[in-house]
Structure 1
Amino acid sequence: MFKIYSSSAGSGKTYTLTKEYLKLALRPDVKDDYFRHILAVTFTNAAANEMKNRILKNLAEIADTNEKEPPLLDELVVELYGTLPGTDSFQTAKNKLRDKAGSVFRTILHRYADFSVTTIDSFTQRVVMAFTDELGLPYSFEVELETDEVLELAIDNLIEKAGTDEMEEITTILSEYYTNTASEGKSWNQLPELLKDFGRNLTSDQFYEAVNAAQELSPGALRAIRMQLLAYNQQVEADIIGQGQRAWKLITDAGLDETDFAYGAGGVGGYLRAIAEGNHGKEAGTRVSNALNNGDWYGKKTPLLVRDIIDGMASELGDCISQIFTIRDEHGRQMALFDCLLPHLQKLALLKQMRVEFDDLLRKDGRVHISEFNKKILSIVASEPVPFLYERLGTKYNHILIDEFQDTSRLQFANLLPLIENALGADHFNLAVGDGKQAIYRFRGAIWIRLWPCTEKILKA
């Protein structure tokens, strides 16, 4: 069974998780060390410590017959032994539960390393430590938490290598970037900062799949794609401008200008002149539509001779405008997409080399960035059977309890999912608690599942 508990802040989610943990650890049919088979994960160290304290405090209070009975005691007796308050069997069950709580409490203290209430990152690091050989990691490594500092050094190394024979493609891309930014009148020395901002995607769970897919393309291939997109947009722009120039030539050859048309520079004449002069993105507006659809090419004060000239060319001018509209309808969305992609393709072409420089800096000092853990574990859980994973960990988890589920990234959940599926396959209880309204980590790929508020949704395997 997989139970998902969702409710608002202050409604008892942590209390619920603590109670479910105690129900599993204090079951009358399991040994005192059964807590070794329960994995409770949360998001921060503070939350993990709080959960541990709650569990131990409740165990101590239940076991202490000299203290006032905790409210949780009666609930656990009813749910674990199926007896009702006020009966002889209820008091007997209560005594048994107190004894059991005392034994479990002492066992946890003696075997505290097996008390698996931890953060997701700590559990992931533990799995990484068990598979250092398969993951190609040094047996003794340090966890690197900083991103910007390492990324900045990696980018400096990348730029310093420009001009060498083995970095020919990278050199070409850098040269193009500096040339383009200089020709646009922008500051050419912004590249390191732009690359650093873009390079943060390397350590993001949210963009893990996209970054991996992009790195399958060589810098040269990405450069070629960029040139194709540029050529496409430039051709569409040229087609639009060409229709504008065709129309404007008709107007000027007849000795007219935009002032001879309705509304002057703000009407159809001004629109066609702007297109002809290169403003391919100029919006048509109602006045242009009225000229095309209703024949409103000129105003009431326009001289008869000018009217006759405009009427003679109106059909061809209308065709030019229709062609512009058709080109925009057929290619506008594609152009908009390419315009969004083009500013990033040069940086994307450098991303693979940034990854190389980033990893080299860490490996020289025997460090592994914390963001790599979830990514590396994905390769393990996707290829190795769960029993082998448990064999390496030295513990088999029958129950996975997840706190603050709304802040769990998709990659983190993908790493936990095989363990949950294995537990569900054996008909064991699993739990996730959270509140979508409190999700604050969407920027790094948190799941943000909108669970039903104040309800429990039960999914059976």
Structure 2
Amino acid sequence: MKDFLALKASAGSGKTFALSVRYIALVLRGENINEIIALTFTKKAANEMKERIITTFLDLQNKKDELDKLCKELSLSQDEVIKRRDEKLDRFLQSELKIYTFDAFFSGILKKFSQNLGLSPDYSVQDSLQDLAWKKFVKEASKDQKLLSELALMMIISSQKEASFSQTLAKFYESFGGELKDSGASYPDDSKVRAAQKEINEHIALQNGASDTAKKTFKEQNLFELFKNKVFERESLDYRTFSKIYTSELDELFVKLKEAAKEYILEVERYRLSGFSKLLNVYKYSNLELNKEINALSFADINKLVFKLLVENFDKDVLYFRLDGRINHLLIDEFQDTNVIQYEIILPIITEIVSGYGQNGLGSFFYVGDTKQSIYKFRGGKKELFDKLGEKFEQILVENLPSN
């Protein structure tokens, strides 16, 4: 059996079959069931995986395809595989199969470290606390008139309504955890771009034969709406709209406007990031206070806290002690749906297995997924991570799983 294996598989090609056979092969090989972790994305998938493994293990003699695959993986005859199954049966039935969703696995880790983080170990988990977090944030911001003005200004400059802005702030918090540094950028100055806009408009207005479309092209007073005009994608104004009035001077004014616009947009982005960093600090504080007040965490909160534990302060000995056992074997289903923060959280564990224990023949890592699709794009699923992991570790063999 290949210790480090990635399977690229399309829909209906037998991903669950491959993972369940892999799990059983580890058990029959004599691996400690307590050291095998299997991860997937939904409770339904986790339950189906567990049921598939149990029923296959118990009825192995009647599962021809699985039995044949196990014979190949373990280089044993059918009788030898069944004999091993019988020898491992009592231990298998007495063991708890550690098959989890990512969210459940991370939550389980966090509960082991909850007191270290000032959390009650009996906290509840909710899909989202965004609405409550926003209300708490606004309440905190209201205590500081300067901060409240900053919030209003940021909403104006980003042209977002309250609901949209709250979502943007929540996404920044989920991505950066309130760790963005304040660059100290000042409010963007639009004088250069306004002057360039005025100059090109006056030039066009003085030209005989200028069409109404040409006269309106750069008239928009809202700069962000102005910059959405596809004319800014052009290298030159030498096209039909301006054909009757086109000169090299017009192009020079156009280039001047584009350069001023680019500079202004960069100033706006710097200011937005600076403003967000200030607001994020308050949002982060508000979110943590909310967690303590209602004794609840969202999955995003859990991910960030576990990220700090496993990525920023990874101590494998402490982790495995708290988890009551080492993770020597990791299996991941539908890997293409893994998002960046999930990837970063499990990476230290994968690295420990592949680069450390794997060299001594003690560990294994297996993941399977369809790189052509990610059904969880809405929650940040990145199918590119499948290939990135294979490229990071040369020990991992990447194979294609044939379609059924």
Normalising by the residue count of structure 1, what TM-score does the alignment of the two structures yield? 0.69
* Rounded Cα–Cα distance in structure 2 between residues aligned with 1:197 and 1:408: 22
Cα distance per residue 1:9-54 (max 9 Å; x no partner): 1111110111111111101xx26xx221211111111111111111
List aligned pairs for 1:203-214, cutoff 5 A. 204=174, 208-209=175-176, 212-214=178-180
Matched, 1:420 2:355: no
Residue 12 of structure 2: which of 1, 10, 13 is its match? 10
The question of whether the paired residues in 2 share the 8 Å contact of 1:7 and 1:435 is answered with: yes
1:237 partner amino acid: R
Q: Write the distance in 2 (CA, Å) between the matches of 1:130 and 1:450.
A: 28
Residue 147 (structure 1) aligns with: 129
Counterpart check, 1:195 vs 2:150: no
**Aligned with 1:430: secondary structure?**
strand
Written as runs of structure 1 = structure 2, the 5 A alignment for 1:296-445 is: 319=249, 321-336=250-265, 349-382=278-311, 383-424=313-354, 425-427=356-358, 428-445=363-380
Identity of paired residues, percent? 23
Q: Deviations over 1:227-251 (max 9, x none)?
A: 1x2x0x3322213414654x58xx9
Tell me: CA distance 1:176–1:11, structure 2 relative to 1, closer, same or farther (3 Å): closer
Q: How far does residue 58 in structure 1 lie from its aligned partner after superposition?
A: 1.0
Superposition RMSD in Å: 3.7
Q: CA deviation at 1:129?
A: 1.4
User: Partner letter of residue 168 of structure 1?
Assistant: Q
Deviates more, 1:102-111 or 1:119-128: 102-111
Q: Secondary structure at the match of 2:7?
A: strand
CA distance 1:347–1:195, shift in 2 (3 Å): farther
Distance 1:195 1:347, change over 3 A: farther
* 2:196–2:257 contact (8 Å) kept in structure 1: no
**Is 336-345 or 443-452 further displaced after alignment?**
336-345
- 8 Å Cα contact 2:178-2:283 kept in structure 1: no
Structure 2 residue ranges without an equivalent (≥5): 232-236, 397-404
Alignment CA distance shift 1:280-1:323 (3 Å) = farther
Instruction: Tell me, yes or no, if structure 1 residue 79 matches structure 2 residue 73.
Output: yes
Q: Say yes or no: does 1:128 pair with 2:118.
A: no
- Structure 2 counterpart of 1:311: none
2:23 is the counterpart of 1:21: yes
Give the aligned length.
Answer: 373
Give distance in 1, aligned partners of 2:385 and 2:148.
47
Measured after TM superposition, the shift of residue 57 of structure 1 is 0.6
- Superposed displacement of residue 441, structure 1: 1.8
CA distance in 2, matches of 1:403, 1:146: 24
Shift of 1:419: 1.2
Offset, 1:337: 5.2
Write the distance in 2 (CA, Å) between the matches of 1:145 and 1:273: 46
Deviations 1:61-104 (A, max 9, x none): 12x6xxx4633223323431x35xxxxxx4xxx33432332343
User: Contact between 2:150 and 2:275, CA under 8 Å: does it hold in 1?
Assistant: yes
Q: Which residue of 2 aligns with 1:36?
A: 34
Structure 2: distance between partners of 1:98 and 1:350: 62
Q: Is the 8 A contact 1:138 1:366 kept in 2?
A: yes
Counterpart amino acid of residue 212 in structure 1: G
Q: TM-score, normalised by structure 2?
A: 0.78
Deviation at 1:433, TM superposition (A): 0.4
Letter in 1 for 2:51: N
Contact 1:240–1:327 at 8 Å: present in 2 too?
no
Return closer, same or farther for 1:341/1:217 CA change in 2, 3 Å cut-off.
Answer: closer
Q: 1:109 to 1:263 in 2, by over 3 A?
A: same
Aligned to 1:304: none
- Assess if the C-alpha contact under 8 Å between 1:48 and 1:118 holds in 2: yes
Task: Classify 1:408/1:272 alpha carbon distance in 2 versus 1 (closer, same or farther; 3 Å).
Answer: closer
Residue 412 of structure 1 deviates from its aligned partner by: 0.9
Letter in 1 for 2:115: D
Match of 1:309? none
Deviation at 1:357, TM superposition (A): 2.3
Do the aligned partners of residues 272 and 202 (structure 1) sit closer, same or farther apart at CA in structure 2, a change above 3 Å counting? Answer: closer
- Counterpart CA distance in 2 for 1:460 and 1:176 is 52
Indicate how the Cα distance of structure 1 residues 150 and 103 shifts in structure 2: closer, same or farther if over 3 A, else same. Answer: farther
The offset of 1:437, in angstroms, is 2.8
Distance (Å, rounded) in 2 between the aligned partners of 1:338 and 1:212: 21
Q: 1:143 to 1:235 in 2, by over 3 A?
A: same
Supply the AA of the counterpart residue of 1:426.
Answer: Y
Counterpart contact for 2:303–2:342, Cα < 8 Å: yes
